[in-house]
Amino acid sequence: MLTAKRILLIIGGGIAAYKTLDLIRRLQRAGASVTPVLTRAGAEFVTPLSVAALANAPVHQDLFDLTAEAEMGHIQLSRSADLIVVAPATADLMAKMAQGRADDLASTLLLATDTPVLIAPAMNVRMWTHPATQRNLATLTADGILTIGPDEGDMACGEHGPGRMAEPEAILAAIDAALAEGPLKGRHILVTSGPTHEPIDPVRYIANRSSGQQGTALAAALRDLGARVSFVTGPATTPPPPGVAVIRVESARDMLAAVEAALPADAAIFTAAVADWRVANAAGQKMKKQAGKPLPVLEFAENPDILATISRHAQRPGLVVGFAAETENVIEHAQAKRARKGCDWIVANDVSPATGIMGGAENAVHLITEDSVEDWPRLPKAEVARRLAQRIAKDLT
């Protein structure tokens, strides 16, 4: 897939910069050429000599290089690549990208380009979870920037959590996906996945048994057909696939906000098992057992209906697909749901405990449209995803 592809690699300033040396080697083995750009902070972690030696190309560092800029070098650099990769994408680089700043070579290249951009964030866990970084991430995702990672694990600073840069092999897979050709090339598809968690108090929540496997498989299948995928996921046990823009959420209200922020899209596929209700009187502190005291009473409020909201949204995608997890009268309930919600298709399945489908590796679905009901056999979830992605591609092309 990467033979003769041109990658502009921007190396940011973080300890994860050392991983880019392995990434350069992997890209060249896959047939790609690499043009490296090293930020001033990045040069504190890897040397220009080591980067140039592995890339077999000169390293670009200075916006005011007289020789290069006599020919408007930053414009040429920004538009001569097939893909721009930022790894590590530090909090500072992400902020510059989101705000449209251009005060060094890397940020100027990113602002002056119409080439697709993939970022691999890497930073301290508190920097990653800070509201400012998450706002910047949402802006970049809405702008069409692809992301890979970050992973969760031990940090160089001694802390643990999300913020580690994705491993080189995962970044390579994301690059491969970003450059894939297929019937959905140029299409933006939104996929929701996983459960939602609705808090009872700071340490307890209401959830369901969804693993996120089907949503993850579908996002990967759409990516493989060339789509740009925005993947809005609740706290699923299945990790998201590489090569898609990942937006992590917790509650149903978080998910609706993230979905609306990701619009417009050509299609929206709602595989997430969203909680119908939330606790209206969630406690601000951990609820304690108290001898002789009455048991706490949970009061419930209805969560927003994400599928119905987007089906009637001013920026409604051309194709809206819902999922219906039922335990009885599967087809009848799903047909009624499709009409009630206003979506185009419903993918219905029986999640009774005896089926093993909820949280399992297989699925047996019925594809329900306005005119027909298709009964698919029990298949691995990856195959269900492949078939559904092909149907979506046929509808959109």
Same domain, 271 and 241: yes
Percent of the chain with pLDDT over 70: 96
Residue listed under structure tokens 């048994």: 209
Show binding-site residues: 276, 286, 304-307, 323, 337, 341
Tokens in use for 255? 């998910």
d(CA 319, CA 342): 11
The residue among 198, 190, 181, 243 whose CA lies nearest residue 215 is 190
| Confidence at 42, pLDDT banded by 50, 70, 90 | very high
Say whether pLDDT at 114 is over 90.
no
Same domain, 167 and 186: no
| 285 burial level (CB within 10 Å; 0-12, 13-18, 19+) | exposed
| Confidence at 7, pLDDT banded by 50, 70, 90 | very high
Same domain, 70 and 88: yes
Helices and strands per DSSP (H, E), number in the chain = 14, 21
Determine contact, residues 395/319, Cβ cutoff 8 Å.
yes
Determine contact, residues 51/36, Cβ cutoff 8 Å.
yes
Vertex 187, ends 384 and 178: CA angle to 5°?
80
Tokens in use for 388? 């559904």
State residue 210's pLDDT score. Answer: 86
State residue 68's pLDDT score. Answer: 54
Q: Which domain holds residue 91?
A: 1-179
Same domain, 153 and 219: no
CATH number of the domain residue 78 falls in: 3.40.50.1950
d(CA 1, CA 207): 40
268 φ/ψ angles, rounded to the nearest 5 degrees = -135, 125
Read off the pLDDT of each residue in 298-313 and give the average, rounded to a whole number.
Answer: 96
Percent of the chain with pLDDT over 90: 64
Same domain, 171 and 283: no
Same domain, 102 and 188: no
State pTM to two decimals: 0.75
The two beta strands, 319-326 and 267-270, are: parallel
Residue listed under structure tokens 């930053």: 74
Q: How many CA atoms lie within 13 A of 269 on its CB side?
A: 28
Same domain, 172 and 201: no
Q: DSSP per residue over 241-267, as a string?
A: PTTSEEEE--SHHHHHHHHHHH---SE
**Span 50-65, pLDDT tens digits:** 999 999 999 998 877 6
Last residue of a domain, one of 179, 212, 234: 179
From the list 72, 157, 203, 373, the catalytic residue is 157
Query: What does the mean pLDDT of the chain come to?
Result: 90
| Confidence at 236, pLDDT banded by 50, 70, 90 | very high
Read off the pLDDT of each residue in 294-315 and give the average, rounded to a whole number.
Answer: 94
Last residue of a domain, one of 179, 194, 218: 179
State residue 359's pLDDT score. Answer: 67
Determine contact, residues 228/190, Cβ cutoff 8 Å.
no
Determine contact, residues 166/136, Cβ cutoff 8 Å.
no
Same domain, 207 and 96: no
Q: What is the DSSP letter of 165?
A: P
CATH number of the domain residue 200 falls in: 3.40.50.10300
The residue among 7, 193, 11 whose CA lies nearest residue 120 is 11
| Confidence at 66, pLDDT banded by 50, 70, 90 | very low
Same domain, 22 and 146: yes
Say whether pLDDT at 72 is over 90.
no
**Span 124-170, pLDDT tens digits:** 999 998 999 999 998 998 888 888 888 888 777 777 778 899 899 98
- Ranked by mean pLDDT, the top range of 112-121, 301-310, 320-329 is 301-310
Read off the pLDDT of each residue in 310-334 and give the average, rounded to a whole number.
Answer: 92
Show binding-site residues for CTP: 276, 286, 304-307, 323, 337, 341
How many domains is the chain built from?
A: 2
Last residue of a domain, one of 138, 161, 179: 179
**Span 275-298, pLDDT tens digits:** 999 999 999 999 988 888 888 899
Same domain, 52 and 64: yes
Same domain, 355 and 225: yes
Residue listed under structure tokens 């140029």: 186
Same domain, 223 and 275: yes
343 has catalytic annotation? no
Quick count: other Cβ atoms within 10 Å of Cβ 250?
16
